[in-house]
């Protein structure tokens, strides 16, 4: 039997240090002891943890959430896909239906993404990040997962906002102490081979297809796929969005360390492609006016002066937090004269396949260059810090770099800063088709009404409206002065802009 770990006086969690007094240590230790009491049951749970945890860690990291939050999924469901609570919360991360839809999970008679380890973890990350943006304390955000944002605000007030050291005692919230018990209990047990040699594999799928067809393709039984993919009730996978199918293989080869190629390719074609971006279309003479131009096919605006986010918000009439979120900016970042900024959400992939890093470039600059979301760029390349990129490194902009795939390099060209190539409204894009694929057109905007009114029907949610009109939930909230806790009512009229 594994030796029961002892609760220390201080626990490092996310970006924080939690200091425990003696009574808090005894309470948490009692929970740790209880988790270890039945060694056979603990081993069964530990096998599930080590089976699913690599996927949970990867998704949290891609979404910018501290990986320490991974212990929460053990606390919530013991990593049982179809777990159901007494309050009818379902799945790995225990979402109720309404909350699941607010974090873009599909829940209906055919698909329940709460039971999909990839989708539900992404939803939990979005939920936690949203609460962290209000509470500015990961321990408080953790508690808000149980009691909701409003409850956490009332409970904590501003007592711990921005604090990175907390004292845990008898009065600290029970949910946080229960979480710390799971962290202490499992932290030293992670990364071990599952006792029966199982290894979870992820298989991205664009439907429509069926588990029966995938079973033949993957060389496993349909029954096996149904066991590990309870999120599809009838074995059918629709084509409305990408899904991830999970399946098991035995005794995989150990993951090889990433190999960095020393054979640099002397090829400047990709640099020439980079010089064609960003592609600016629309009324470039009025580029400083919101709505006048598009940047790589997304609405945007050009800054005329170097100003703060607040000043830029006043100039453009766009909320400060929205500008920051759409452009992956930090709160302290300034708007720089001559730079282009997006006023519409960037895409999950670029219009070209790859980019060769230039000297001095940052991941943020590359994401802005091609109109790809920063977290998507990082996730595709499994690179999360500017310190890890080098001149000549080939970054993928459409596909994901495989877990065992080495990083490619090309000989870097002389460092230059190409000006964006602006395209006048009536001119043909001067970039050769072989160098830059044509922009994906969205249809003539003049045929679309600027504002429509939508009357809420029974069962409709903000998420459903965002899917129908191809806008974000946040945009709908902003246009209709709805806060995060607003509830839609039948017959209510919702305004949709730029449809």
How do residues 401-446 score in pLDDT, each as one tens digit?
876 677 787 754 444 444 454 444 433 333 343 443 333 333 333 3
Convert the pLDDT of each residue in 299-347 to its tens digit.
999 998 889 999 999 888 889 999 999 999 988 889 988 889 999 999 9
- The C-alpha atoms of residue 295 and residue 367 are separated, in whole angstroms, by 12
Phi and psi, residue 86, nearest 5°: -65, -20
Residue 106 has what pLDDT? 94
Pick from 485, 56, 126, 119: which is nearest to 325 by CA?
126
Convert the pLDDT of each residue in 78-113 to its tens digit.
999 999 999 899 999 999 999 999 999 999 999 999
Residue 196 has what pLDDT? 62
Structure tokens at 325: 């979120």
Q: Which residue has the tokens 């800063």?
A: 417
Q: Are 380 and 366 in contact (CB under 8 A)?
A: no
- The C-alpha atoms of residue 67 and residue 30 are separated, in whole angstroms, by 25
Higher per-residue confidence, 373 vs 477: 373
- Sign, Cα dihedral of 293, 296, 302, 308: positive
**Residue 180: Cβ within 10 Å count:** 27
Looking at the whole model, is its pTM more than 0.85? no
Residue 484 has what pLDDT? 56
Residue 275 has what pLDDT? 58
List CB contacts of 159: < 8 A, sequence separation 6 or more. none
């Amino acid at each position: 039997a594994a030796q029961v770990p002892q609760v220390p006086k201080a626990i490092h969690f996310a970006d924080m240090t939690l200091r425990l007094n003696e009574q808090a240590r005894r309470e948490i230790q009692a929970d740790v002891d209880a988790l270890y009491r039945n060694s056979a049951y603990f081993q069964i749970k530990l096998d599930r943890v080590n089976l699913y945890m690599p996927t949970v860690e990867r998704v949290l990291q891609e979404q910018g959430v501290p990986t320490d939050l991974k212990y929460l999924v053990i606390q919530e469901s013991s990593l049982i896909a179809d777990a159901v609570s007494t309050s009818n919360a379902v799945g790995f991360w225990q979402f109720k239906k309404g909350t699941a839809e607010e974090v873009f999970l599909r829940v209906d008679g055919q698909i329940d993404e709460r039971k999909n380890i990839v989708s539900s973890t992404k939803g939990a990350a979005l939920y936690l990040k949203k609460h962290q943006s209000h509470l500015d304390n990961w321990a408080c955000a953790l508690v808000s997962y149980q009691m909701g944002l409003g409850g956490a605000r009332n409970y904590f007030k501003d007592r711990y906002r921005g604090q990175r050291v907390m004292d845990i005692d008898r009065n600290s919230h029970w949910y946080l102490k229960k979480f710390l018990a799971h962290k202490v209990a499992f932290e030293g047990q992670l990364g071990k081979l599952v006792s029966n040699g199982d290894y979870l594999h992820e298989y991205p799928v664009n439907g429509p297809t069926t588990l029966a067809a995938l079973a033949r393709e993957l060389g496993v039984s349909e029954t096996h796929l149904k066991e590990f993919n309870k999120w599809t009730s009838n074995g059918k996978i629709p084509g409305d969005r990408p899904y991830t199918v999970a399946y098991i293989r035995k005794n995989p080869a150990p993951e090889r360390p990433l190999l960095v190629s020393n054979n640099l390719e002397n090829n400047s074609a990709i640099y020439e492609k980079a010089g064609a971006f960003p592609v600016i279309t629309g009324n470039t003479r009025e580029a400083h006016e919101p709505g006048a131009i598009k940047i790589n096919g997304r609405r945007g605006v050009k800054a005329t002066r170097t100003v703060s986010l607040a000043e830029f918000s006043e100039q453009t009439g766009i909320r400060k937090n929205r500008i920051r979120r759409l452009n992956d900016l930090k709160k302290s970042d300034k708007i720089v004269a001559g730079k282009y900024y997006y006023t519409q959400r960037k895409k999950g992939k670029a219009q070209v396949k790859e980019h060769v890093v230039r000297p001095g470039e940052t991941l943020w600059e590359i994401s802005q260059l091609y109109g790809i979301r920063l977290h998507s760029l990082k996730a595709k390349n499994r690179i999360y810090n500017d310190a890890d990129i080098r001149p000549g490194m080939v970054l993928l902009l459409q596909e994901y770099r495989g877990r065992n795939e080495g990083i490619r390099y090309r000989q870097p060209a002389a460092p230059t800063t190409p000006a964006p190539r602006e395209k006048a409204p009536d001119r043909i894009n001067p970039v050769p088709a072989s160098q830059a694929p044509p922009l994906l057109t969205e249809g003539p905007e003049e045929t679309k009404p600027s504002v429509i009114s939508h009357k809420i029907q029974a069962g409709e949610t903000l998420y459903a409206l965002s899917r129908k009109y191809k806008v974000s939930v946040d945009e709908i909230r902003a246009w209709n002065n709805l806060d995060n806790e607003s509830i839609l009512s039948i017959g209510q009229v919702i305004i949709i802009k730029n449809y």
